[in-house]
């Protein structure tokens, strides 16, 4: 016989004053249970894929050691990066793959180039090309405002370009020597020297130091820079493992020029064409002699002719100036004029070429006078004597 349930019995519940105890048997009223997390409270989740990948970790607690210093405190935190849509922002933390770093312009990035005559004509475009190749530039200029204008012009194109200016009048032996020494002290490794500044004058002029001005700018200044910067050029070659380069911008007027070592300053029979051609032949001889005296795996030195270029080289009034202005439309542009100098300065194909005369990117035979070693030794000694700072 079954007895009826005793509806009058009482249950004794222990632990009902703390933990979940006090809640057992009570009724909960839950608001907000139709959306958001409210809908999920008290429901049971079935999780698939919980045995591999991130599945097994969901809902578990991680204990992280080393979280109080180094990168530890940052793990799992969220960074807010401003400026990430322009400038270098979007590139932070991304990986760069650089191809072509062993040839072409790749090897020039971050190396130092010294350049003269960057404030006008061909030189401005050479400077731009060197900056585009990633070289840090040191430009020697006589006029701070023109140097600043060149810097601004290059940085408008390449905002990150590094350009230092050293002020010197290249007609002055003392100023050129001082500039070169200042540069060598600040830049113990120089990968490239471009002797580009040049002067063409209608009348003979003598500098304060008593030198023919055309010879001083076109020959003596490059000679001083080559001499004073040679240790830094050699140092860069040792560190970089590839020869440093000297590029002297010569002229085809040297092709038929004559040079009398007993009258290097052309005290007799000075004409503008003779003086200019003679100075360009002298600088070619000095550059070739520099090449001869330096190991080609250390420093290479070459001379380029940029072509006939519509620059401000001929700043002479009168008939000659007029003729030059009339010819301008038929000449190369300044940018085109920079092509061969830049090619010889940067291209891998000229990495080990030394003592060459280059036109339109190709070595060509120079004036035979430039290949006479006895004459070269003589010019070297005379030049040394003329460029001794007083
Ligand atoms: N244009 C041609 O057809 C041609 C042909 C063959 C060879 N080249 C050679 O190419 C090179 C560049 O000449 P360019 O045609 O470009 O002529 P440019 O426009 O007259 O440029 C000459 C550069 O040399 C600088 N310079 C001249 N005398 C200087 C001095 N005493 N101190 C410091 N800097 C001085 C000038 O500085 P400023 O701005 O302060 O004047 C200017 O930056 C020269 O070596 C020239 O002989 C030119």
Residue 364: the pLDDT is: 98
Of ligand 1's listed atoms, the one at least distance from the Cα of 217 is 31
Per-residue pLDDT averaged across 34-59, rounded?
Answer: 50
293-304 per-position pLDDT tens digit: 999 999 999 999
Is the CB–ligand 1 distance for residue 313 below 6 Å?
yes
Q: Of 42-51, 216-225, 265-274, where does the model show the most confidence?
A: 216-225
Query: Per mean pLDDT, which range of 76-85, 232-241, 339-348 is the poorest?
Result: 76-85
pLDDT > 70 fraction of the chain, expressed in percent and rounded: 72
Query: Per mean pLDDT, which range of 63-67, 253-257, 287-291, 360-364 is the poorest?
Result: 63-67
Looking at per-residue pLDDT, the higher value among 318 and 199 belongs to 199
Per-residue pLDDT averaged across 243-271, rounded?
Answer: 96
Residue 388: the pLDDT is: 87
Residue 363: the pLDDT is: 98
Looking at per-residue pLDDT, the higher value among 230 and 93 belongs to 230
Mean of the per-residue pLDDT values of the chain: 83
Per-residue pLDDT averaged across 322-345, rounded?
Answer: 93
Distance 106 CA to ligand 1 centre (A): 28
140-165 per-position pLDDT tens digit: 999 999 999 999 999 999 999 999 99
Is the CB–ligand 1 distance for residue 306 below 6 Å?
yes
Is the CB–ligand 1 distance for residue 171 below 6 Å?
yes
174-198 per-position pLDDT tens digit: 999 999 999 999 999 999 999 999 9
Is the CB–ligand 1 distance for residue 308 below 6 Å?
yes
Of ligand 1's listed atoms, the one at least distance from the Cα of 117 is 43
Residue 72: the pLDDT is: 46
Query: Per mean pLDDT, which range of 82-86, 309-313, 359-363 is the poorest?
Result: 82-86
Distance 33 CA to ligand 1 centre (A): 84
Of ligand 1's listed atoms, the one at least distance from the Cα of 171 is 31
Whether 279 shows a pLDDT value over 80: the answer reads yes
Whether 386 shows a pLDDT value over 90: the answer reads yes
Query: Per mean pLDDT, which range of 65-79, 184-198, 370-384 is the poorest?
Result: 65-79
Of ligand 1's listed atoms, the one at least distance from the Cα of 213 is 31
211-222 per-position pLDDT tens digit: 999 999 999 999
Whether 375 shows a pLDDT value over 60: the answer reads yes
pLDDT classification of 312: cutoffs 50, 70, 90? confident
- CA separation for the pair 124, 129 (Å, rounded): 9
Of ligand 1's listed atoms, the one at least distance from the Cα of 331 is 3
Distance 44 CA to ligand 1 centre (A): 85
pLDDT classification of 47: cutoffs 50, 70, 90? very low
Distance 127 CA to ligand 1 centre (A): 13
Is the CB–ligand 1 distance for residue 277 below 6 Å?
no
Whether 12 shows a pLDDT value over 60: the answer reads no
Residue 314: the pLDDT is: 84
Distance 88 CA to ligand 1 centre (A): 37
Whether 79 shows a pLDDT value over 60: the answer reads no
Is the CB–ligand 1 distance for residue 222 below 6 Å?
no
Whether 91 shows a pLDDT value over 90: the answer reads no
Is the CB–ligand 1 distance for residue 312 below 6 Å?
yes
Is the CB–ligand 1 distance for residue 198 below 6 Å?
yes
| Domains with residue ranges and CATH for the chain | 106-386 (3.40.50.720)
Residue of 114, 118, 119, 121 with the most ligand 1 atoms within 8 Å of its CB, for mutation: 121
- Positions marked catalytic: 276
Distance 373 CA to ligand 1 centre (A): 28
Whether 345 shows a pLDDT value over 60: the answer reads yes
């Amino acid at each position: 016989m079954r007895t009826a349930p005793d509806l009058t019995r009482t249950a004794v519940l222990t632990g009902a004053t703390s933990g979940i105890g006090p809640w057992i048997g009570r009724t909960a009223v839950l608001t907000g249970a139709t959306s958001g997390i409210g809908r999920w409270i008290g429901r049971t989740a079935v999780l698939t894929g919980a045995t591999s990948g991130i599945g097994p970790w969901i809902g578990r607690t991680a204990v992280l050691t080393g979280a109080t210093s180094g990168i530890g405190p940052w793990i799992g935190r969220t960074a807010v990066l401003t400026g990430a849509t322009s400038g270098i922002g979007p590139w932070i933390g991304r990986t760069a793959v650089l191809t072509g770093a062993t040839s072409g312009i790749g090897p020039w990035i971050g190396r130092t180039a010294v350049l003269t005559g960057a404030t006008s004509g061909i030189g401005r475009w050479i400077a731009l090309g060197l900056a585009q190749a990633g070289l840090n530039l040191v430009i020697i200029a006589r006029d701070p405002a023109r140097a600043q204008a060149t810097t601004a012009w290059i940085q408008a194109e390449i905002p990150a370009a590094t350009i230092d200016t050293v002020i010197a009048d290249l007609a002055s032996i003392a100023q050129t020597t001082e500039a070169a020494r200042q540069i060598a002290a600040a830049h113990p490794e120089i990968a490239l020297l471009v002797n580009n500044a040049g002067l063409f004058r209608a009348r003979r002029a003598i500098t304060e130091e008593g030198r023919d001005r055309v010879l001083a700018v076109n020959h003596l200044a490059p000679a001083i820079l080559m001499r004073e910067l040679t240790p830094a050029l050699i140092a860069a070659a040792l560190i970089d493992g590839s020869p440093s380069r000297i590029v002297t911008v010569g002229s085809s007027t040297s092709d038929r020029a004559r040079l009398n070592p007993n009258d290097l300053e052309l005290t007799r029979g000075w004409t503008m064409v003779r003086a200019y051609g003679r100075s360009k032949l002298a600088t070619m001889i000095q550059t070739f002699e520099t090449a001869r005296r330096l190991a080609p795996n250390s420093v290479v030195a070459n001379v380029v002719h940029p072509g006939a270029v519509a620059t401000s080289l001929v700043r002479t009034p009168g008939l000659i100036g007029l003729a030059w202005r009339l010819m301008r439309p038929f000449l190369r542009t300044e940018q085109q004029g920079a092509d061969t100098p830049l090619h010889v300065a940067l291209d891998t194909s000229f990495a080990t070429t030394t003592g060459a005369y280059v036109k339109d990117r190709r070595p060509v035979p120079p004036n035979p006078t430039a290949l006479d070693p006895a004459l070269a030794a003589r010019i070297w000694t005379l030049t040394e004597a003329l460029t001794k700072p007083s």
